[in-house]
């Protein structure tokens, strides 16, 4: 089976500080890869390299290869916008469009890319998937900023789902959510697996165990260990991994 | 004991400072208030339906109005907006998004210099560009002069507004696969639009109050004019002509026109105040 995403010798910098050091990872299609590791270890930087968001920051650059279906995402022939339509992203901090309504926020990816769809159907489906429909169905035209932080985060997930990417990058999507909404999102991820490949950053070990097939443990910009989630959490090969997953450090 | 003295002193100082601030505010408002009072009290007598809608009467004839000058001012301001808005907003967006390089500093410097050029000089430029080549005074020349005057402030304000848009919004849009140029237009500019429109309306209001650059560009006109290649009446030039005339009736009309202009500009500023609204895709 060929990998959906194949990362080899990936290095990333912010100006002179190196945030990622020689990362090699593969993600198979329709699988969930969880990225865990202490704060500041480069998890966000890693996922942002996969859809070329990293290079947009001033002074940021990266090196190495990222293959999507065997195609180099950093090749000049591939337009970054085309890539980003195939590799969607939910950011660590909710970033709804403040000037747009709830409805237009969800549909923004389709409308701005001039994609014609049954908007109402997309709207209801994605909002139901993110457990937001019942909370917002009566005020779809009001400002997205009127929603609570957790609702805004789910709106961002709905917005990413609406464009139907092949790969979904989620950077701590549940960090601002209560247990019920978190459970809904985890359910959603399970359901999405059949159609999408998912890379999810999480600080919650239990969540990683519940939702992921594979886990990669990062520390100080390096990939310490990766493997099947069950394996990594029960019989880690490295002492550092064991210390982290058992809560002795990090 | 010491504490109580302390807090008493503090209270006195507090009152004193509040009093000083209030005095400063009153002193700043006084000129504004007296101008308003003068214009309203002297101009209100001339106001009537016919004053607002009729053409000016000849010397000695009673009655007549400044209808053509009101329309002329609006016409000039619209022309100025059509020329100045795209240029000013475009330059501002460029400066905010791509203005880090050498061309950016050049544009910024040019805008700064242009901003400090006296308006009458801008009028001369419009004269040279339009009036001299077309061999006649025209609304177009006046609109161009006012339009050029709007550009520098508009560019700087737009740059500021666009810079205020958080980077995370740009990222959100780019991550959806929206190309950079459309992100700028549809997300960044749209988010900043309320502020830009606000500044634009204030700029238009200011342009409506300009006299000097109009004296030798749009000149004046005794009749209605809707053609861009013809001289056009404007409130400011009309006020100027009426005010320096020896006739008492005309001087009264100058006050009346001033009041009309004040109301017009006030209305625009008020409009600017209410421009922050949500938009849709
Ligand atoms: N914009 C930036 N400029 C400079 N350095 C940055 C920037 N963003 C992140 N870094 C640095 O890069 C390293 C990796 O950051 P990153 O955001 O990838 O960490 P993370 O693993 O996602 O952490 P967290 O769990 O707190 O979100 C950190 O040392 C951080 O200080
Ligand atoms: Mg992070």
Residue B62 pLDDT grade (very low, low, confident, very high; cuts 50, 70, 90): confident
Percent of chain A with pLDDT over 70: 99
pLDDT digits (tens, 9 = 90+) for B177-203: 999 999 999 999 988 888 888 888 888
Closest residue CA from atom 30 of ligand 1: A40
Name, of A166-170, B43-47, B184-188, B267-271, the range with top average pLDDT.
Answer: A166-170
B119 pLDDT band, cuts 50/70/90, is very high
Nearest residue to B203 via CA among B35, B89, B66: B89
Answer whether residue B3 shows pLDDT above 80.
no
Residue A58 lies in a domain: yes
Tell me, yes or no, whether A216 lies in a domain.
yes
| Interface contact flag, B169 A95, Cβ < 8 Å | yes
How much is the pLDDT for B60?
Answer: 74
Question: Is residue B277 scored above 60 in pLDDT?
Answer: no
Residue A208 near residue A229, CB atoms below 8 Å: yes
A142 falls within a domain: no
Tell me if B172 and A112 make a contact (CB, 8 A cut-off).
no
CATH of the domain at A89: 3.40.50.300
| Angle at A227 (CA atoms; ends A157, A172), nearest 5 degrees | 25
Kindly state whether residue A106 falls inside one of the protein's structural domains.
no
Q: For residue A2, what pLDDT is reported?
A: 73
Q: What total of structural domains would you count in chain A?
A: 1
In a domain, B57, yes or no: no
Kindly report the CATH number assigned to the domain that includes residue B141: 1.10.3720.10
Give the integer Cα–Cα distance in Å for B64 and B48: 10
Tokens 């500041």: give the residue.
Answer: A40
Q: Is the pLDDT of residue B16 over 70?
A: yes
Pocket test for ligand 1, best of A41, A174, A207 (most atoms within 8 A of CB): A41
**ipTM for the complex shown:** 0.92
pLDDT tier, B276 (very low <50, low <70, confident <90, very high otherwise):
low
The answer as to whether A24 is a domain residue is yes
B222 domain-assigned = yes
| CB pairs A-B closer than 8 Å | 84
Per-residue pLDDT reduced to its tens digit, A139-155 = 999 999 999 988 999 99
Strands A167-171 vs A32-36: parallel, antiparallel or unpaired: unpaired
User: Do the chains contact at A82 and B177, CB–CB below 8 Å?
Assistant: yes
Asked whether residue B25 is assigned to any structural domain, the reply reads no
In a domain, B13, yes or no: no
Structural domain containing residue A185: 3-95+170-245
Q: How many Cα atoms within 13 Å fall on the side-chain side of residue A145?
A: 7
CB A132 within 8 A of CB A158: yes
Rounded to the nearest angstrom, the minimum Cα separation between B178 and chain A is 6
CB atoms < 10 A from the CB of A55, how many? Answer: 13
Residue numbers in A near B193 (CB within 8 A) = 99
Q: Which of A52, A58, A81 to mutate to test the interface with B (most CBs of B within 10 A)?
A: A81
Q: Please count the other Cβ atoms lying within 10 Å of the Cβ belonging to residue B29.
A: 11
Enumerate the residues of chain B whose CB falls inside 8 A of the CB of residue A83. 177
Distances (CA, A) of A216 to A23, A166, A229, A237: 10, 21, 8, 12
Find the radius of gyration of the CA atoms of chain A.
18
In-domain check, residue A100: no
Q: Is residue B55 part of a domain?
A: no
Would B59 be classed as within a structural domain?
no
Is B29 within the bounds of a domain? no
A214 to chain B, closest Cα gap in Å: 25
Instruction: Establish if B62 belongs to a structural domain.
Output: no
Q: How far is CA A115 from CA A7, A118, B177, in A?
A: 30, 10, 12
pLDDT in tens, B132-145: 999 999 999 999 99
Assess if residue A117 is contained within a domain.
no
Measured between alpha carbons, how far is residue A148 from residues A152, A177, A182, B187 in Å?
Answer: 6, 10, 15, 22
The residue segments making up the domain with residue B110 are 70-155+164-280
**Helices of type H across B184-279:** 189-208, 212-215, 235-243, 248-273
Cα–Cα separations (whole angstroms), residue B69 to A17, B148, B234, B266 = 65, 21, 4, 17
Q: Which of A82, A89, A143 sits opposite B175 (nearest CB)?
A: A89
């Amino acid at each position: 089976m060929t990998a959906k995403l194949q990362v080899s010798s990936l290095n990333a910098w912010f100006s002179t500080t190196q945030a990622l050091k020689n990362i090699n990872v593969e993600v198979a299609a329709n699988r969930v890869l969880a990225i865990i590791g202490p704060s500041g270890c480069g998890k966000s930087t890693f996922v942002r390299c996969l859809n070329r968001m990293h290079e947009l920051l001033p002074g940021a650059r990266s090196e190495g290869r990222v293959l999507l279906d065997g195609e180099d995402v950093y090749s000049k022939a591939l337009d970054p916008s085309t890539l980003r339509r195939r590799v969607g992203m939910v950011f660590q901090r909710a970033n709804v469009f403040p000037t747009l309504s709830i409805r237009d926020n969800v549909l923004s990816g389709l409308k701005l890319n001039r994609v014609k769809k049954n908007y109402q159907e997309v709207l209801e489906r994605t909002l139901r998937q993110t457990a937001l429909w019942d909370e917002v169905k009566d005020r779809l035209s009001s400002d997205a900023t009127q929603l609570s932080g957790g609702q805004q985060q789910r709106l961002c997930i709905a917005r990413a789902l609406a464009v139907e990417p092949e790969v979904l990058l989620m950077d701590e999507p549940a960090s601002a959510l209560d247990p019920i909404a978190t459970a809904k999102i985890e359910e959603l991820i399970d359901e999405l697996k059949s159609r999408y490949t998912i890379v999810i950053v999480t600080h919650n070990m239990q969540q990683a165990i519940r939702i992921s097939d594979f886990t990669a443990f990062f520390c100080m910009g390096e990939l310490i260990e990766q493997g099947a989630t069950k394996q990594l959490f029960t019989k880690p090969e490295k002492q550092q991994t064991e210390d982290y997953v058992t809560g002795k450090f990090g | 004991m010491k504490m109580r003295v302390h807090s008493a002193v503090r209270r006195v100082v507090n009152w004193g400072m509040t009093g000083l601030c209030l005095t400063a505010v009153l002193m700043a408002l006084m000129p504004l208030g007296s101008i308003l009072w003068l214009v309203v009290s002297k101009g209100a007598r001339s106001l009537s339906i016919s004053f607002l809608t009729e053409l000016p009467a000849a010397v000695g004839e009673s009655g007549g109005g400044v209808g053509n000058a009101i329309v002329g001012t609006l016409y000039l301001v619209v022309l100025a907006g059509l020329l100045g808005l795209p240029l000013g907003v475009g330059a501002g967006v460029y400066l905010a998004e791509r203005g880090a390089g050498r061309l950016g500093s050049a544009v910024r410097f040019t805008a700064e210099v242009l901003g400090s050029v006296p308006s009458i000089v801008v009028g001369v430029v419009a004269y040279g560009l339009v009036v001299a080549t077309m061999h006649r005074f025209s609304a177009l020349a006046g609109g161009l002069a006012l339009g050029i005057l709007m550009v520098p402030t508009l560019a700087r304000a737009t740059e500021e507004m666009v810079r205020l848009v958080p980077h995370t919004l740009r990222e959100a849009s780019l991550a959806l696969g929206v190309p950079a140029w459309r992100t700028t237009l549809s997300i960044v500019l749209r988010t900043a639009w309320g502020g830009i429109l606000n500044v634009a309306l204030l700029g238009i209001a200011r342009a409506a109050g300009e006299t000097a650059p109009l004296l030798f560009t749009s000149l004046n006109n005794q009749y209605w004019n809707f053609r861009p290649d013809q001289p056009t009446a404007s409130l400011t030039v009309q006020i100027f002509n009426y005010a320096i005339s020896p006739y008492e009736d005309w001087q009264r009309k100058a006050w009346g026109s001033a009041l009309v202009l004040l109301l017009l500009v006030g209305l625009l500023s008020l409009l600017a105040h209410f421009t922050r609204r949500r938009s849709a895709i």
